[in-house]
């Protein structure tokens, strides 16, 4: 895509639809590919219209792949909608290996490093956190008690507080103001308060990962929960952990210990494990937890940031609240960044398997060997079959917001989402909650649900997450910085409190995809070094939702 300002775009030479880059009124004259026609309908920015008439059952192509079929006649210049298009995608099979790719020029990043926390297993963290995690939901209350005791006193309370706003409302009520007067009152939003002085200078935070699992569900879910928690404990951004167990739940401490050993056979981080049914009283449990956690923090505080090569970065690629611009601005910019990082020996994680529907063949062909390709196809097939058995296959993935902003079939959404992974070979295919062990492009089986997928990517080892959004979403993570990128400038200007980087510049023609990718990587290096703090970190958006493997799209 060039930097020239355009009003509509064909993404791939094989496409038979155009994307509106701005609102186009009904009757707009379109000149394209040697022909001139007028728009039959008003076409909002991000939506698609037909280059030529599309009869019933005519295949519709975007990004060069099948993304749907016409369910009614769509005239030349007609708008594509959920009423005249239904989901369709190509089948896939075990094809030939297609591993040739053009490695980008990394000259601008030669010799660059980031300041990270070096771990005994050779990984490098972009942060230094202590985590407190329950083995089962029964311990959530105790987790919250520890949070109340530790966070504020040790200097980790987040800046924003709305207590002053509530006090203003109370004063209005006590002064006899009516409900209407209260609703119309000009409440002064509280100023951000600086963090209180931290006792432990080298610890970025104490994070509390409560959840609703561990017992009462399937053994598959409790086992994978143990694997996920082990992924966080062994994560390079984690200095140590406190684990609270009740004792009788499915998710046993012994399973957790086995999962830790799978990920780090020589595990040596401070680890506090307390089981309430063995300790006895709740009071004694909490006293031991506080003392042993404090002792662990003293040890963890000894680690300081040191230079590390960019090959030690493991980037999680995520999208949520996607729109019709996602696949032509922010996502391909991340794709170029992914190729840059892979060329330099780093790792990237592409997940959200329901959002790879329709591009299976391309990704399968890019797998480094037949075994890897077969595993990818098996995971895709069984996941979709399981979803369909519950009455909702991959076709049901797009949300109302996705559809409203131009992503009317799952294949349209998927073809754009896959752009985040760039063009390099797929070096590994992982099932949830496995860990990344190879550099290069890793495919991780997760749902398309934003928080579940981000939670899983971090559990697999992502020490930075890049998250594109066209509609806006506040998703974050407790231990890994989540950097938000907008696909369009209007949203970036409307929600500046949660968005870090604007990729709408690509749509407007003021920046190329390659320029945006390099700009994003420069910011990643600053975040990884602790020199910049993404909005999700500033706001304390510590989302943690383990995937209940049943079915979650």
The pLDDT > 90 percentage for the chain reads 88
pLDDT tens-digit readout, 232-281: 999 999 999 999 999 999 999 999 999 999 999 999 999 999 999 999 99
Please give the average per-residue pLDDT across 63-86, as a whole number: 96
What pLDDT shows up at residue 131? 98
Q: Is 138 left (phi over 0), alpha (psi -120 to 50) or beta?
A: alpha
Please give the average per-residue pLDDT across 477-485, as a whole number: 98
**CA angle, 120 as apex, 116 and 121 as ends, to 5°?**
95
What pLDDT shows up at residue 551? 45
Quick one: which of 334, 469, 454, 445 has its CA closest to 379?
445
How far apart (Å, rounded) are the C-alpha atoms in residues 506 and 514? 10
pLDDT above 80 for 176: yes
How far apart (Å, rounded) are the C-alpha atoms in residues 526 and 196? 24
What pLDDT shows up at residue 352? 96
What pLDDT shows up at residue 524? 98
pLDDT tens-digit readout, 32-66: 999 999 999 999 999 999 999 999 999 999 999 99
pLDDT tens-digit readout, 368-388: 999 999 999 999 999 999 888
Quick one: which of 127, 156, 131 has its CA closest to 244?
131
pLDDT band at 187 (very low <50, low <70, confident <90, very high): confident
Pairing relation of β-strands 65-70 and 59-62?
antiparallel
More confident residue, 165 or 523: 523
- Pull the structure tokens for residue 532: 């910049």
pLDDT band at 160 (very low <50, low <70, confident <90, very high): low
- Pull the structure tokens for residue 325: 């611009």
Please give the average per-residue pLDDT across 203-224, as a whole number: 95
Q: What's the pTM value of the predicted model, to 2 decimals? A: 0.94
Quick one: which of 470, 434, 411 has its CA closest to 349?
434
- Pull the structure tokens for residue 493: 């200007």
pLDDT above 60 for 128: yes
What pLDDT shows up at residue 2? 41
How far apart (Å, rounded) are the C-alpha atoms in residues 281 and 411? 54
What pLDDT shows up at residue 3? 40
Contact 233, 206 (CB under 8 A): no
The pLDDT > 70 percentage for the chain reads 96
pLDDT tens-digit readout, 1-27: 444 468 999 999 999 999 999 999 999
Which contacts (CB < 8 Å, 24+ apart) does range 366-369 have? 366/98, 366/99, 366/424, 366/425, 366/426, 366/441, 367/97, 367/425, 367/426, 367/429, 368/97, 368/99, 368/425, 368/426, 368/427, 369/97
pLDDT tens-digit readout, 520-547: 999 999 999 999 999 999 999 999 999 9
The per-residue pLDDT of the chain, averaged, comes to 94
What pLDDT shows up at residue 194? 53
pLDDT tens-digit readout, 294-349: 999 999 999 999 999 999 999 999 999 999 999 999 999 999 999 999 999 999 99
Please give the average per-residue pLDDT across 348-354, as a whole number: 96
pLDDT above 70 for 550: no
Q: Buried b vs exposed e over 54-76: b needs ≥16 C-beta within 10 Å?
A: beeebebbbbebbbbbbbeebbb
Please give the average per-residue pLDDT across 512-524, as a whole number: 98
């Amino acid at each position: 895509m060039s930097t020239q300002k355009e009003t509509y775009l064909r993404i791939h030479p094989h496409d038979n639809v155009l994307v509106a880059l701005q609102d186009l009124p009904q009757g707009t004259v379109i000149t394209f590919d040697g022909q001139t026609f007028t728009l039959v309908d008003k076409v909002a920015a991000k939506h698609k219209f037909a280059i030529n008439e599309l009869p019933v059952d005519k295949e519709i192509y975007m990004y060069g792949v099948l993304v749907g079929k016409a369910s009614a006649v769509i005239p030349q210049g007609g708008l594509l909608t959920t009423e005249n298009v239904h989901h369709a995608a190509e089948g896939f099979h075990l094809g030939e290996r297609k591993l040739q790719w053009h490695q980008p020029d990394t000259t601008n990043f030669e010799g660059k490093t980031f300041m990270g926390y070096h771990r005994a297993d050779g990984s490098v963290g972009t942060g230094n956190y202590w985590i407190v995690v329950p083995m089962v939901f029964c311990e959530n209350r105790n987790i919250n008690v520890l949070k109340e005791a530790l966070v504020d006193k040790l200097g980790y309370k987040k800046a924003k507080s709305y207590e002053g706003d509530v006090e203003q409302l109370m004063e209005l009520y006590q002064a006899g103001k009516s409900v209407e007067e209260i609703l119309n009152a000009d409440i002064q939003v509280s100023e951000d308060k600086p963090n209180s002085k931290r006792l432990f200078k080298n610890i970025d935070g104490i994070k509390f990962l409560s959840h609703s699992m561990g017992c009462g569900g399937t053994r598959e879910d409790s086992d994978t929960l143990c694997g996920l928690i082990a992924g966080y404990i062994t994560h390079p951004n984690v200095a140590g952990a406190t684990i609270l167990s009740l004792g009788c739940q499915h998710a046993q401490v012994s399973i957790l210990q086995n999962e830790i050993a799978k990920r780090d056979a020589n595990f040596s981080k401070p680890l506090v494990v307390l089981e309430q049914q063995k300790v006895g009283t709740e009071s004694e449990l909490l006293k031991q937890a506080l003392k042993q956690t404090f002792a662990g923090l003293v040890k963890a505080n000894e680690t300081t940031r040191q230079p590390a090569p960019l090959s030690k970065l493991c980037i999680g690629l995520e999208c949520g609240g996607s729109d019709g611009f996602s696949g032509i601005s922010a996502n391909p910019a991340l794709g170029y960044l992914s190729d840059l990082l892979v060329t330099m020996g780093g790792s990237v994680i592409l997940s959200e398997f329901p959002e790879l529907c329709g591009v299976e063949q391309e990704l399968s062909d890019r797998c480094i060997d037949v075994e890897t390709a077969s595993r990818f196809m098996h995971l895709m097939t069984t996941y979709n079959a399981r979803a369909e058995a519950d009455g909702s296959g991959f076709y049901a993935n797009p949300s109302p917001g996705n559809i409203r902003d131009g992503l009317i079939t799952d294949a349209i959404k998927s073809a754009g989402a896959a752009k985040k992974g760039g063009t390099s070979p797929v070096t590994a295919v992982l099932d949830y909650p496995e860990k990344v062990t190879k550099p290069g492009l890793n495919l991780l089986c997760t749902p398309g649900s934003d928080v579940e997928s981000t939670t899983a990517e971090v559990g697999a080892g992502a020490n930075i997450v890049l998250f594109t959004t066209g509609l806006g979403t506040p998703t974050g993570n407790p231990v890994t910085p989540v950097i938000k990128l907008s696909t369009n400038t209007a949203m970036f200007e409307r929600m500046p409190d949660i968005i870090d980087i604007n990729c709408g510049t690509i749509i407007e023609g003021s920046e190329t995809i390659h320029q945006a990718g390099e700009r994003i990587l420069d910011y990643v290096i600053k975040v990884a070094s602790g020199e910049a703090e993404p909005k999700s970190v500033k706001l304390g958006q510590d989302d943690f939702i383990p995937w209940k493997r049943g079915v979650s799209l």
